[in-house]
């Protein structure tokens, strides 16, 4: 069996269905490592993973940092305020610098859509897009699908996944729609009409400007984080009004399949897009997503940074 020949992970469209399946399968093996007493394998010893986060993040940065360290890579974090970005250095010059230091993998979060693609064109390192503006966040989609498969089985054909929130501006939604469609799931998008994308027929998804019909019989309900900075803007109602029409609560969740799982990429705005009882309730798999995140990122780092010919399965 040949391994996926993956040079970067910038967008879900970089992945064939086979590649996606192989990443998910490898992540399964790494998922077990997190539960062991010794959460470490020597797979990427002597590789250099550089986390370049231009936007604040705890969970994603920590998830990649742990993924790298548990693979025995050397991990270096570069943040916003203490870095040369404050001296006005361009993104390209920063990347050329990290390339010259022989980074193996650059993990990039940046506010500008397309930043990761731009970086990838300027380095020999493998680049992982950890969120670029309103564009994509492919490892989030992979960890979401990993989590769905844990609960619903490996075949997503026939599953109905409802994604609700500010679809139009969400990189999480954009990556998920592509990956879910690639793997055969049915996707429904729900949100205020001003925040729904146009021309969704091409994506093969259904859109709803009310939450209730979108939830009917859904197997998976994925709530998006409301970006508080958008509140008050023209496209967006108030936080209270949003919760009233698009917040997931127990009553609304009862419209979905009785075995529906509830997901959220975090951090949660409790009482806005999701109520406390649902976030902490028996249908919630939100913390399982976090756990899956480390495993999926280990798998992606593994495919991008390990030597050709190395063993596919972790020790």
Is 124 a binder of a copy of itself (CB under 8 A)? no
Q: Strand 105-110's sheet: what is its strand order? A: 74-78, 48-53, 105-110, 126-132
Q: What are phi and psi of 80, to 5 degrees?
A: -80, -65
Q: Which token pair is 39?
A: 């959460």
Host H or E run for residue 162? strand 160-164
CB of 311 to a copy of itself, least distance (A): 15
Is beta strand 186-190 parallel, antiparallel or unpaired with respect to 160-164?
parallel
CA torsion angle 233 276 171 22 (round to 10): 180
Residue whose structure tokens are 């979401």:
144
Q: Minimum distance from CB of 187 to a copy of itself (Å)?
A: 26
Q: Which of residues 26-85 bind a copy of itself (CB under 8 A)?
A: 34-40, 45-48, 50, 53, 56-59, 62-63, 65-66, 69-70, 74, 76, 78-85
User: Closest approach of Cβ 74 to a copy of itself, in Å?
Assistant: 4
Q: Which is nearer to a copy of itself, 159 or 296 (CB)?
A: 296
Number of amino acids touching a copy of itself (CB under 8 A): 61
Residue 153 interacting with a copy of itself (CB under 8 A):
no
| Closest distance of CB 37 from a copy of itself, Å | 5
List, in order, residues 6 or more apart from 277 with CB less than 8 Å away.
249, 250
Tokens 């991990």 appear where? 75
- Which parts of 183-242 interact with a copy of itself (CB under 8 A)? 228
CA 273 to chain centre: 18
* 303 contacts a copy of itself (rule: CB under 8 A): no
Least separation, in Å, of the C-beta of 229 and a copy of itself? 10
Binding interface with a copy of itself (CB under 8 A) = 34-40, 45-48, 50, 53, 56-59, 62-63, 65-66, 69-70, 74, 76, 78-90, 93-94, 96-102, 104, 228, 266-270, 287-288, 290-291, 293-294, 307
């Amino acid at each position: 069996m040949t391994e996926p020949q993956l040079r970067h992970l910038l967008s879900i469209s970089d992945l064939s269905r086979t590649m996606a399946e192989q990443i998910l399968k490898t992540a399964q093996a790494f998922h077990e490592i997190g539960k062991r007493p010794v959460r470490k394998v020597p797979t990427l010893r002597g590789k250099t993973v550089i986390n370049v986060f231009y936007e604040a993040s705890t969970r994603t940065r920590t998830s990649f940092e742990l993924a790298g360290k548990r693979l025995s890579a050397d991990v270096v974090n570069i943040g916003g305020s203490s870095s040369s970005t404050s001296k006005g250095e361009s993104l390209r010059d920063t990347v050329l610098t990290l390339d010259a230091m022989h980074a193996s993998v650059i993990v990039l979060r940046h506010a500008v859509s397309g930043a990761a693609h731009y970086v990838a064109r300027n380095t020999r390192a493998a680049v992982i897009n950890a969120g670029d503006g309103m564009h994509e966040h492919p490892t989030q989609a992979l960890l979401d699908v990993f989590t769905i498969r844990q609960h619903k089985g490996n075949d997503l054909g026939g599953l109905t996944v409802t994604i609700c929130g500010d679809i139009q501006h969400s990189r999480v939604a954009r990556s998920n729609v592509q990956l879910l469609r690639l793997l055969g799931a049915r996707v429904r998008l729900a949100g205020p009409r001003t925040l729904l994308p146009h021309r969704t027929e091409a994506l093969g998804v259904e859109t709803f400007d009310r939450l209730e019909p979108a939830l009917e019989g859904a197997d998976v309900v994925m709530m998006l984080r409301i970006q508080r900075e958008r509140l008050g803007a023209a496209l967006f109602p108030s936080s209270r009004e949003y919760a009233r029409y698009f917040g997931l609560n127990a009553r609304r969740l009862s419209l979905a399949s009785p075995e529906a799982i509830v997901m959220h990429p975090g951090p949660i705005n409790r009482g806005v897009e999701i109520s406390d009882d649902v976030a902490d309730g028996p249908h919630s798999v939100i913390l399982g997503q976090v756990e899956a995140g480390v495993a999926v990122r280990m798998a992606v780092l593994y495919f991008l940074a390990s030597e050709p010919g190395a063993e596919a399965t972790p020790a």
